Amino acid sequence: MKSISHRVIEGRSMGFYGLLALLGAIVLVGLGAALYMEENGHWVTGMNNQIVWGTPHVFAVFLIVAASGALNVASIASVFGRKLYKPLSRLSGLLAIALLAGGLAVLVLDLGRPDRLTVAMTVYNFKSIFAWNIFLYTGFFVIVAVYLWVMMERRMNDYSKPVGMFAFLWRLTLTTGTGSIFGFLVARDAYDSAVYAPMFIIMSFAYGLAIFLPVLMAAMAWTGRELGDVTFDRLRKLLGVFVAAALYFVAVYHLTNLYITQRHGVEGFVLLSGGVYTKMFWLGQVLVGGVVPLIILFSGLAKIRPMVTIACVLIVLGGIAQMYVTIIGGQAYPMPLFPGKEVSSSFFDGVVGNYTPSLPEVLLGIGGIGIALALTTFAIKVLPFLPESLADADADPHHKAA
């Protein structure tokens, strides 16, 4: 395999400035939505006493999970020694940091009192998984930044494998912590499951690569750099494997719940009678986010690159649907205050929670995606994150010229 160099993009075209302006506008709209909710209070959202985590949390958790998965490409190169992925490692680390920044920005702006973030960062209850996650998220920034430094500084290249191994283990821990937010909530029938940790890990692989691949394709195409079939096909097949594995873990989770008698109620709610949550599960998560992308990725349609881009977009949409069902659907199902008894009161005990996303919530979530993409676009202009060429002759050591 030839040594592939990296260089910054020129970034002087009207198209580049137009892209930055578009992403900047998305970010400003998201910030405006956050300011609107801050000034008026959360009553302008769809959240209430039953649904306290709304659509912004859906986007935030999705971006945080995808951030861990985006680093998977770099891990494959440095930890598992796959040289084909080495030229992609810098972009992988950059996108991981950008996605986490976007997700945490949404999370902080949805707190209702962002100015009180200092309390969460200085006062810790170590019985809470949220306290652990503050260390996991801030540590991720530092570790990936160091990882990028040892990859980009020639003198430090010998340390890329041990640092990459540490980053690999840290991101697995981070995703485990994020999944455990739900797995440790014993009060909710939809949560309280050890399956959440491994399920979130494999979902992170799928979501991160589904974002990484279109970003790579767009960056290479718009800067006149070649992305050969060898690299593209390897990433496309790997994405298909991750999507299939994510569907497998979703099936394991629901089959496990169906085996437990006390979970039959919540499973019936999600799978059959949950209205919008049932539709988002079967149509959004399973069909749009799983089955259709698998058909595209493992059929003749995969030879058409725009179709693969569509598959990636569908996986992202399916991931957001997954988080919506998990986070909001899990809160909407009533808590079993007295197991085996029917409970009703003036405070909606025993009643399915009502929630309708508001426009400011959706705009704030989309703003988080804008932050991630804007950071990535700006960074590849000022630092050499993008490989100069991924042509088959450069990326494949066994390539033979026609």
Please report whether residue 252 resides in a domain: no
Q: Give dist(CA 286, CA 278) in Å, integer.
A: 11
- CA angle at residue 23 from 21 to 26, to 5 degrees? 110
Please report whether residue 293 resides in a domain: no
Question: Looking at the predicted structure, is the pLDDT value of residue 401 above 80?
Answer: no
Please report whether residue 108 resides in a domain: yes
pLDDT tier, 402 (very low <50, low <70, confident <90, very high otherwise): very low
Span 279-284, mean pLDDT? 96
pLDDT tier, 394 (very low <50, low <70, confident <90, very high otherwise): confident
Question: Looking at the predicted structure, is the pLDDT value of residue 3 above 80?
Answer: no
Quick one: pLDDT at residue 92? 96
Please report whether residue 150 resides in a domain: yes
pLDDT tens sequence across 40-86: 888 899 898 889 899 999 999 999 999 999 999 999 998 888 888 99
Q: What percent of the chain has pLDDT over 90?
A: 66
Quick one: pLDDT at residue 346? 67
**Do 323 and 58 meet the contact criterion of CB atoms below 8 Å apart?**
yes
Please report whether residue 169 resides in a domain: yes
pLDDT tens sequence across 203-237: 999 999 999 999 999 999 999 999 999 999 999 99
In total, how many domains does the chain have? 1
pLDDT tens sequence across 139-184: 999 999 999 999 998 888 889 999 999 999 999 999 999 998 888 8
Quick one: pLDDT at residue 111? 75
Q: Is 387 helix (H, G, I), strand (E, B) or coil?
A: strand
Please report whether residue 46 resides in a domain: yes
Mean pLDDT of all residues belonging to the chain: 90
Span 338-359, mean pLDDT? 78
Q: Give dist(CA 124, CA 207) in Å, integer.
A: 30
pLDDT tens sequence across 369-382: 999 999 999 999 99
Quick one: pLDDT at residue 339? 67
Q: How many CB atoms lie within 10 A of CB 128?
A: 12
Q: Give dist(CA 274, CA 354) in Å, integer.
A: 11
Residue 72's domain is classified under what CATH number?
1.20.1630
Q: Give dist(CA 335, CA 261) in Å, integer.
A: 16
Give the position of tokens 């861990």: 68
Question: Looking at the predicted structure, is the pLDDT value of residue 1 above 60?
Answer: no
Please report whether residue 244 resides in a domain: no
Q: Please list, in sequence order, all residues whose beta carbon lies within 8 angstroms of the beta carbon of residue 166, skipping any fewer than 6 positions away.
A: 143
| Helix, strand, coil distribution of the chain in percent, nearest 5 | 75, 0, 25
Please report whether residue 2 resides in a domain: no
Token pair of 1 as six digits: 């395999």
Quick one: pLDDT at residue 79? 87
* Residue 213 structural domain: 14-238+350-395
Quick one: pLDDT at residue 188? 82
pLDDT tier, 398 (very low <50, low <70, confident <90, very high otherwise): low
pTM: 0.94
Q: Give dist(CA 370, CA 258) in Å, integer.
A: 39
pLDDT tens sequence across 94-127: 999 999 999 999 998 887 666 777 777 777 777 7
